[in-house]
Amino acid sequence: MSFSDYKTALVTGASGGIGAAIVERFRRENIEVHAVARSASALEELAARTGCIPHVIDVTDRDALAALAGRVEFDILVNNAGVDRPKKFLEAEDGDIDLLVDVNLRAVLHLCRLIVPGMAARDRGHVVNISSIAGLYNFGGNSTYHATKAAVSMLSNQLRIDTFGKRVRVTEICPGRVATDIFNHVHGDDPSIRERFIDGFELPQAADIAEAIAFAIAAPVAVNIGHMEITPTLQVMGGLQTARPQPGGLGEGRS
């Protein structure tokens, strides 16, 4: 497949950052892009700039997604919408868990349920799941986020099995730190957040992620690029830590 084989795309989380960059990149290929997000003003601006078709929909609104999927046959599905509530699992609240599961996982599952069967029936389609290095590697304070992204990673592999024999390609994109406004959305709109996560770092831009997705989609039909980790050159995953026992812990004060 190449872009010329595809006509329509659905991109969630399209109001800014990586999602908006993907919409812009697809529109340069004359793809009819349906951009989904909650922010009407941001979508209106994106539509005016790119010519995409805006849909003010929360991805947790299953009926609205089903109605859209019932009206349009999508050749490309990009599951990009995501949220995070960083905190240790020992401090997690039920609302945090429900929100992350609903947006990061449940919406992805339902969109795949609504759209992928049509791709298989037409023997043509490409699913792009924006996961995260958090689905593959562990770091502190994001336990529910890690769990949902790991599930998306497994789903991406499973879709290839479930559509075996059909020209439905699946690409999982696992970004590390990218220079977007997501950190303000997650940690609060404060100048110190940008200083903490973006200023002074050499980071990929949202457009770099969009170009990587375009590369996967433009590959020949015989090629499925299944997985990409995209991180800053100066970012690594992993590390080994060993804790000392805490005073009063197991074995302390016993005779």
Q: What is the CATH number of the domain that holds 128?
A: 3.40.50.720
- Per the domain annotation, does 146 fall within a domain? yes
At 221 the pLDDT is 92
Domain ranges, residue 172: 3-230
The catalytic residue positions are 145
Give domain status of residue 69, yes or no. yes
Q: In this structure, is residue 30 part of a structural domain?
A: yes
Residue 199 placed within a domain: yes
For residue 242, tell me if it sits in a domain: no
Question: Is 250 part of any domain?
Answer: no
Distance in angstroms (rounded) separating the CA atoms of residues 58 and 37: 6
- Find the mean pLDDT for residues 179-196: 63
Encode pLDDT of 125-166 as tens digits. Answer: 999 999 999 999 988 778 999 999 999 999 999 999 999 999
- 10 in Cβ contact with 68 (< 8 Å): yes
Give the E-state strand segments of 80-167 in sequence order: 125-130
Q: What is the mean pLDDT of the chain?
A: 91
Task: Let me know if residue 186 belongs to a domain.
Answer: yes
Q: Report yes or no: 216 and 128 within 8 Å, Cβ to Cβ.
A: yes
pLDDT at 187 over 60: no
Amino acid 254: pLDDT:
46
Question: How many domains, in total, are found in the chain?
Answer: 1
The CA-atom distances, in angstroms, between 124 and each of 66, 119, 156, 162 are: 20, 5, 17, 14
CB contact at 8 A, 53 and 41 = no
- Per-residue pLDDT of 48-105, as tens digits, reads 999 999 999 999 999 999 999 999 999 999 999 999 988 888 888 889 999 999 999 9
Q: Which of 166, 165, 158 is nearest to 124 (CA)?
A: 166
Question: pTM, whole model, 2 decimals?
Answer: 0.90
Residue 235 counted as domain residue: no
